[in-house]
Amino acid sequence: MSKLRISGVIVPSMFDDEWFEPAIERGLITPLSRVEAALAAANAEEPLAVEINSPGGSVFAGNQMLNALVNWRNTTGMKINVEVGAMAASAAASIVAELGPVTAHANSLFMFHSASAENFGGPDAMEDMAKLLSKINAQAQTTLTTRYKLEPELVAEWFGEGRMGWLDANEAKEAGLVSAIIATAAEPIEFAAEDVAAMTTRGLAVAALLESPELPAEPDEPNEANPLEALVAALGIECAECTAQALATAIQERHNAAYDEGQAVGKAAALGEVSAELKQRAETAEALATEVTAERDKIKAENEKLAARVAALDAGFRGGGKSSDPAPATGDGSEYWEAVKELVENGTSKNQAMLTVQREHPEAYRAMIAASNKPKQNR
């Protein structure tokens, strides 16, 4: 079965570039073009497995990913099996809702909220952007309220300004968004007091939720034999009322904070790599521009010299030997004819030899012209 993975932030195809390759390989971003390429290479004679673990991203890139998946399904007639990892939020949640119901893990979370955008302009531009965001939100809200068992009032609250609507795997299954939940373990894990004590002694970090009806009743005074209190102490969690529910809430908050911190560190690392590459390319381009500028100035100077030379020659040709060159034409013209004779003897035609000497020895040419214009003495 062919597999396709949408991981990290959903971005347009413009990010499918060697600069962003490290971020793509690490699953920090997924460009639209990568999904389209994976679909083109997928086996069209068997179902497609799609894994989604994404906080969302570009609305339009996400919509086109959805369009590409639907087109593949319609063209091949094969089923698309979607499995959600730790998260399907924002644009990723919209893709899941359109392809659902899906399979999710016991710790999967789904989040829906209003689309957002940056805009520049006056009141009219802001009004146009608001209309666009409303249309985007309406599409997602319609899917959630017509295909799944979700109240329109609740969904409307999710899409309020700055609001978020979260569903865990069980809530998503009740709504019909999830068809099956992949259990974390076959059977619940139970810890005895001595197990917790051993973990504490070894310095192990434990994050687990105990749901055992056989836990002893909580004593009035702290007792090391109480495994729930021992686990709270091992985790270093402040819990005023050491109940299973309070512990679960504290662990969930710690998990969310750790996830946000890890995501921020990952994004910062990816952007740092991209910034270093951009800086290096900018320095290379600047050095090349300096070389090009120097070469251009050199060529410009040579052109100016040639232009002055041509102007002087042109003045000599047009003036019948009268040139703006301050150097006077001296001699009887014999130097010009000697040069012509030498070229002819070396195989150059007479006409070509005369033109060559005119161009390369303008002084001799002017002297010849001046000599030919002198009145001849009759003997």
Question: Can you give the CATH number for the domain in which 177 is found?
Answer: 3.90.226.10
Is the same domain home to 241 and 336? Answer: no
Q: Which of 162, 184, 206 is the last residue of a domain?
A: 184
Q: Which of 116, 151, 184 is the last residue of a domain?
A: 184
Q: What angle do CA 90, 95, 98 make, to 5 degrees?
A: 125
Q: Cα separation of 5 and 50, whole Å?
A: 6
Other beta carbons within 10 angstroms of residue 95's beta carbon come to 24
The residue ranking higher by pLDDT, 211 or 336, is: 336
Run of H or E including 234: helix 227-235
Q: What are the pLDDT digits (tens) for 286-304?
A: 898 898 999 889 898 888 8
In this prediction, residues 88-107 reach a mean pLDDT of 96
Q: What are the pLDDT digits (tens) for 169-192?
A: 999 999 999 999 998 765 555 656
Is the same domain home to 167 and 52? Answer: yes
- 88 by Cβ neighbours in 10 Å (0-12 / 13-18 / 19+) ranks as buried
**Given pLDDT bands bounded at 50, 70 and 90, which one contains residue 6?**
very high
On whether residue 306 sits in a domain, the answer given is no
Give the list of residues 6+ apart from residue 348 with CB closer than 8 angstroms, or none.
Answer: 356
Is the same domain home to 117 and 74? Answer: yes
Q: Cα separation of 83 and 54, whole Å?
A: 12
Q: What is the pLDDT of residue 308?
A: 77
Dump the DSSP string for 98-148: HH-SEEEETT-EEEE--------SSHHHHHHHHHHHHHHHHHHHHHHHHHS
Is the same domain home to 277 and 139? Answer: no
Q: What are the pLDDT digits (tens) for 15-59?
A: 999 999 999 999 999 999 999 999 999 999 999 999 999 999 999
Instruction: Provide the domain limits for residue 363.
Output: 319-373
Structural domains of the chain, count: 3
Q: Which of 139, 164, 184 is the last residue of a domain?
A: 184
Other beta carbons within 10 angstroms of residue 228's beta carbon come to 21
Tokens representing 62?
A: 């996400």
Q: Per residue in 132-155, is it b (16+ CB within 10 Å) or e — as a string?
A: ebeebbeebbebbbeebebeeeeb
On whether residue 311 sits in a domain, the answer given is no
Is the same domain home to 252 and 330? Answer: no
Run of H or E including 55: strand 48-57
Strands 109-112 and 165-168: antiparallel
Is the same domain home to 97 and 166? Answer: yes
| DSSP secondary structure code for residue 216 in this structure | P
Q: What is the pLDDT of residue 202?
A: 47
Which of 203-212, 266-275, 329-338 is least confident? Answer: 203-212
Dump the DSSP string for 101-112: SEEEETT-EEEE
Is the same domain home to 236 and 353? Answer: no
Q: What is the pLDDT of residue 234?
A: 67
DSSP bridge partners of 88: 54, 110
Q: What is the pLDDT of residue 240?
A: 60
Is the same domain home to 168 and 272? Answer: no
- Are 30 and 8 a contacting pair, CB within 8 Å? yes
Instruction: Describe the crossing of helices 227-235 and 244-318 by its angle, rounded to 10 degrees.
Output: 20
On whether residue 153 sits in a domain, the answer given is yes
Q: Cα separation of 89 and 52, whole Å?
A: 10
- Are 2 and 42 a contacting pair, CB within 8 Å? yes
On whether residue 55 sits in a domain, the answer given is yes
What is the reported pTM? 0.51
- Are 358 and 343 a contacting pair, CB within 8 Å? no
**Given pLDDT bands bounded at 50, 70 and 90, which one contains residue 168?**
very high
Place of tokens 């597999």: 3
Phi, psi of 278 (to 5 degrees): -65, -40
- 118 by Cβ neighbours in 10 Å (0-12 / 13-18 / 19+) ranks as exposed
| DSSP secondary structure code for residue 58 in this structure | -
In this predicted structure, the answer to whether residue 214 has a pLDDT above a threshold of 80 is no
Q: What is the pLDDT of residue 183?
A: 87
The residue ranking higher by pLDDT, 318 or 64, is: 64
On whether residue 304 sits in a domain, the answer given is no
On whether residue 230 sits in a domain, the answer given is yes
Is the same domain home to 33 and 155? Answer: yes
Which of 59-73, 132-146, 234-248 is least confident? Answer: 234-248
Q: Cα separation of 146 and 155, whole Å?
A: 11
Q: What is the mean pLDDT of the chain?
A: 83
In this predicted structure, the answer to whether residue 242 has a pLDDT above a threshold of 60 is yes
On whether residue 270 sits in a domain, the answer given is yes
Q: What is the pLDDT of residue 367?
A: 87
The residue ranking higher by pLDDT, 298 or 102, is: 102
Is the same domain home to 83 and 4? Answer: yes
**Given pLDDT bands bounded at 50, 70 and 90, which one contains residue 195?**
low
Which of 6-15, 143-152, 335-344 is least confident? Answer: 335-344
Is the same domain home to 340 and 268? Answer: no
Is the same domain home to 213 and 133? Answer: no
On whether residue 305 sits in a domain, the answer given is no
Q: What is the pLDDT of residue 203?
A: 45
